[in-house]
A and B are shown apart, each in its own frame.
Chain A
Amino acid sequence: MATTVPAHAPATADLAIRVRGVTKEFGSGGAVARALRGVDLDVAYGEMLMLVGPSGCGKTTLVSIIAGTLAPTAGDVVVLGHDLVAMTNGAKVRFRREHVGFVFQAYNLLPALTAAENAAVPLLIAGWRRRDAVEKAADVLDALGLGDRLANLPTELSGGQQQRVAIARALVHEPRLLVCDEPTSALDAENGRITMELIERLAVQPGRAVIVVTHDSRVYSFADRIASMEDGRIEAVEAGPRRGAARG
């Protein structure tokens, strides 16, 4: 496979994510599964990187490590200037709380909370007062076009609307890293496009970074760069369409 741009973002830029030689093995003894077999990856600030590849190639494992929810078996991981490998568990919890926003394929909203309350969860985790947190979450939902669904429970929302609530939740505390795992794969084309547009508009900003795992080729057009994975390795990194448009 042809590598048309360097695997690493320009060295001049201060890197948001720097992954070197990362491996991950699950299980032990004879039943070891090698999910990652030596991954190098850089992501610059202001960049949206897409991670693509066949099912089971290690995409989720890689972003879990970058987001600090999973520890690598070996290798170096530096995210937003924090050395995740050297971090204690408690520090990782704080790191995620302060710096990472998550969008999951399965939304993972709390069914007992309204849209606004769900979007407010990261602020509540950070210790905000409930009223202030819900108020701020409501503003974000408003910006996402859900101003009229604030008091609805997740079950009263469509899939696209639920994913927008999840995006509001991922961004409400203004994290510097947004990690999205298959955010559009449960949505139809129209809702998938809306979702990606919102992520691009709200999350792709200087000083921040976005990683989107996807195998939805309809949304490739939003990427600055596309990293293709295969069998636990990054096989190629290509410039996405956005690079030309946004940076000239």
Chain B
Amino acid sequence: MLWIAWKMLIGNRVKYLGIVFGVVFAALLIAQQSSIFCGLMSLTVSQIRDVQGPDIWVMDAKVQYVDDIKPLADTELFRVKGVPGVAWAVRFYKGTARARLAEGSYEQMMLLGLDDATLIGAPEQVVLGSIADLRKPDAVIMDDAGYKRIWPGEPYQLGRVFEMNDRRAVLVGVTKASRSFTSFPIVYTRYSQAVAFAPPERKVLSFVLADAEPGVAPEEVCRRIEAQTGLQALTRAQFFRKTIRYYLAKTGIPVNFAVTVLLGFLVGTAIAGQTFYLFTVENIRQFGALKAMGTSNWTILGMVLAQALQVGLIGYGVGVGLAAIFGQVVKGASRLSFFMPWQVLAITGVAVFVIVLLASLLSIRKVLIVDPAIVFRG
């Protein structure tokens, strides 16, 4: 009988395509907007993600997200080191600096200062030059996207010189970095150097990066650090979540996307539901005839649901596929961020499922109440 339902459905090509179109529209919009949203959210944590190695971030108790810098006194490093369970701890500077280029123009930079001794937090993927060269005087490394932005169209060239806070900076390497929310060029240097590049301030230490001793849970070490120092200590994952939660709660971003997603959901449901209902009405005599010939209401219900699920499946596949293609295209062509984790696929799937269920409700009502005796009427 499900086979008959399927035949009925695709036998009516125009209506079939109409229903599928509604579902595709919704799935595409929901998946695409959610992916852009996830892309944006992942941008907000890209700077945490790019610091590989330490599992614990220590910061001022009032810091709410990764770009919310509230400098600590340099002595806090030693207090953190003194907490039992801390294997090691290093300084990390994060701030912005204005660079004066050789051409005379100014550029805002994201300045990251790495521990002088260990260079912990250095980028992983080197395009040109070497991380070790950061130990040379005045040495800085820049991310490739930033380089292309400052010197568009020019080949990578080490030894380029610019100034920050009237101090000379010499480029010794180009690396890859995840794009950040602000999209400033990212400049890496030693901590001691970064402090000199940055505008003079009383306190300069942005974060203490630390790791737990083997056998001690990082969460536990974080608790101890907080108890002992009064600072805020978060694991990487906790800092991720805190940062994302901040953007979710304190910016209009989620609302904007939620509105678009909701719109896609409603419009998709309306198109699919209306076409599906018309399809059912058009076939109501067929359903009546099947009922007269002894098809139970349960089977009829199953047939309509099967029809709904069938268009849901097709619409989901096509919609998500189109969204993925869109993602591939924009990834290459623009600065729009696009990130489609499995959660997006799952959410879109659930939404499509709800859409086809809602869309079939009216139809189900219609077929269940149809009187099999209608088949005798002309």
The closest CB in chain B to the CB of A127 belongs to B1
- Report yes or no: B294 in contact with A60, Cβ–Cβ below 8 A: no
Q: How far is the CB of B256 from chain A (nearest CB, A)?
A: 44
A98 sits at the interface (CB 8 A): yes
- Report yes or no: A104 in contact with B375, Cβ–Cβ below 8 A: yes
Which residues in B have their C-beta under 8 angstroms from that of A108?
Answer: 285-286, 288-289, 375
How many of chain A's residues have a CB under 8 angstroms from any CB in B?
31
Which residues in A have their C-beta under 8 angstroms from that of B371?
Answer: 69-70
Which residues in B have their C-beta under 8 angstroms from that of A93?
Answer: 291, 294-297
Cα-based distance from A100 to B294 in the complex (angstroms): 9
- Report yes or no: A102 in contact with B293, Cβ–Cβ below 8 A: yes
Interface residues of B in 257-291 (CB under 8 A from A): 285-286, 288-291
A151 sits at the interface (CB 8 A): no
Which residues in A have their C-beta under 8 angstroms from that of B3?
Answer: 124, 130
The closest CB in chain A to the CB of B377 belongs to A60
- Report yes or no: B8 in contact with A112, Cβ–Cβ below 8 A: yes
Q: How far is the CB of A157 from chain B (nearest CB, A)?
A: 16
A95, A100, A112, A130: which has the most chain B beta carbons within 10 Å? A112
Q: How far is the CB of A115 from chain B (nearest CB, A)?
A: 14
Quick one: given A121-B293, A181-B376, are A112 and B285 in contact (CB under 8 Å)? no
Give the number of A-B contacts (CB < 8 Å). Answer: 82
- Report yes or no: B376 in contact with A122, Cβ–Cβ below 8 A: no
Which residues in A have their C-beta under 8 angstroms from that of B290?
Answer: 121, 125
A97 sits at the interface (CB 8 A): yes
- Report yes or no: A69 in contact with B378, Cβ–Cβ below 8 A: no
Q: How far is the CB of A197 from chain B (nearest CB, A)?
A: 23
Quick one: given A102-B293, A108-B286, are A60 and B376 in contact (CB under 8 Å)? yes
- Report yes or no: B378 in contact with A125, Cβ–Cβ below 8 A: no
Cα-based distance from A214 to B353 in the complex (angstroms): 48
Cα-based distance from A172 to B376 in the complex (angstroms): 20
Task: Please tell me which one of the listed residues A97, A110, A113, A181 contacts residue B294 in the complex, with CB atoms under 8 A apart.
Answer: A97
B11, B285, B375: which has the most chain A beta carbons within 10 Å? B375
Q: How far is the CB of B4 from chain A (nearest CB, A)?
A: 7
Q: How far is the CB of A61 from chain B (nearest CB, A)?
A: 8
B22 sits at the interface (CB 8 A): no
Task: Please tell me which one of the listed residues A64, A67, A112 contacts residue B12 in the complex, with CB atoms under 8 A apart.
Answer: A112
Task: Please tell me which one of the listed residues B10, B12, B378 contacts residue A106 in the complex, with CB atoms under 8 A apart.
Answer: B378
- Report yes or no: B294 in contact with A112, Cβ–Cβ below 8 A: no
A90 sits at the interface (CB 8 A): yes
The closest CB in chain B to the CB of A92 belongs to B294
Main secondary structure of the interface of B (DSSP, over half): helix
Which residues in A have their C-beta under 8 angstroms from that of B289?
Answer: 102, 104, 108, 110
Which residues in B have their C-beta under 8 angstroms from that of A113?
Answer: 4, 7, 11
Task: Please tell me which one of the listed residues A60, A90, A105 contacts residue B296 in the complex, with CB atoms under 8 A apart.
Answer: A90
The closest CB in chain B to the CB of A101 belongs to B293
Task: Please tell me which one of the listed residues A90, A105, A111 contacts residue B11 in the complex, with CB atoms under 8 A apart.
Answer: A111
Cα-based distance from A125 to B294 in the complex (angstroms): 7
A196 sits at the interface (CB 8 A): no
A96 sits at the interface (CB 8 A): yes
Cα-based distance from A104 to B372 in the complex (angstroms): 12
B373 sits at the interface (CB 8 A): yes
* Contact mask for chain A residues 68-108; partner B; CB cutoff 8 A; 1 contact, 0 none: 01100000000000000000001001111110101011101
- Report yes or no: B376 in contact with A112, Cβ–Cβ below 8 A: no
- Report yes or no: B4 in contact with A110, Cβ–Cβ below 8 A: yes
Interface residues of B in 285-312 (CB under 8 A from A): 285-286, 288-297, 299
- Report yes or no: A110 in contact with B376, Cβ–Cβ below 8 A: no
Cα-based distance from A205 to B7 in the complex (angstroms): 35
Q: How far is the CB of A65 from chain B (nearest CB, A)?
A: 9
A239 sits at the interface (CB 8 A): no
- Report yes or no: B373 in contact with A96, Cβ–Cβ below 8 A: no
Q: How far is the CB of A175 from chain B (nearest CB, A)?
A: 10
Task: Please tell me which one of the listed residues B1, B294, B372, B378 contacts residue A98 in the complex, with CB atoms under 8 A apart.
Answer: B294
B10, B286, B297, B376: which has the most chain A beta carbons within 10 Å? B376
Q: How far is the CB of A53 from chain B (nearest CB, A)?
A: 15
The closest CB in chain B to the CB of A90 belongs to B296
Q: How far is the CB of A225 from chain B (nearest CB, A)?
A: 22
- Report yes or no: A110 in contact with B295, Cβ–Cβ below 8 A: no
Which residues in B have their C-beta under 8 angstroms from that of A130?
Answer: 3
Cα-based distance from A149 to B170 in the complex (angstroms): 86
Which residues in A have their C-beta under 8 angstroms from that of B299?
Answer: 125
Task: Please tell me which one of the listed residues B1, B4, B7, B292 contacts residue A96 in the complex, with CB atoms under 8 A apart.
Answer: B292
Q: How far is the CB of B2 from chain A (nearest CB, A)?
A: 10
Cα-based distance from A155 to B289 in the complex (angstroms): 18
Cα-based distance from A117 to B286 in the complex (angstroms): 14
- Report yes or no: A96 in contact with B376, Cβ–Cβ below 8 A: no
Which residues in A have their C-beta under 8 angstroms from that of B4?
Answer: 110, 113, 121, 124
Nearest first, the 6 A-B pairs at minimum CB distance are: A97-B294, A112-B11, A96-B294, A108-B289, A69-B372, A112-B7
Give me the interface of B with A, judged by CB distance under 8 Å. 1, 3-4, 7-8, 10-12, 285-286, 288-297, 299, 371-373, 375-378
Give me the interface of A with B, judged by CB distance under 8 Å. 60, 63-64, 67, 69-70, 90, 93-98, 100, 102, 104-106, 108, 110-113, 117, 121-122, 124-126, 130, 181
The 6 listed contacts between A and B (C-beta, < 8 Å) are A102-B289, A104-B289, A110-B286, A112-B10, A121-B293, A124-B4
Known contacts A93-B296, A124-B1; can you find 15 more A-B pairs with CB under 8 A?
A60-B376, A60-B377, A64-B373, A67-B292, A69-B375, A93-B297, A95-B294, A97-B293, A97-B295, A108-B375, A110-B7, A112-B10, A112-B12, A121-B293, A122-B293
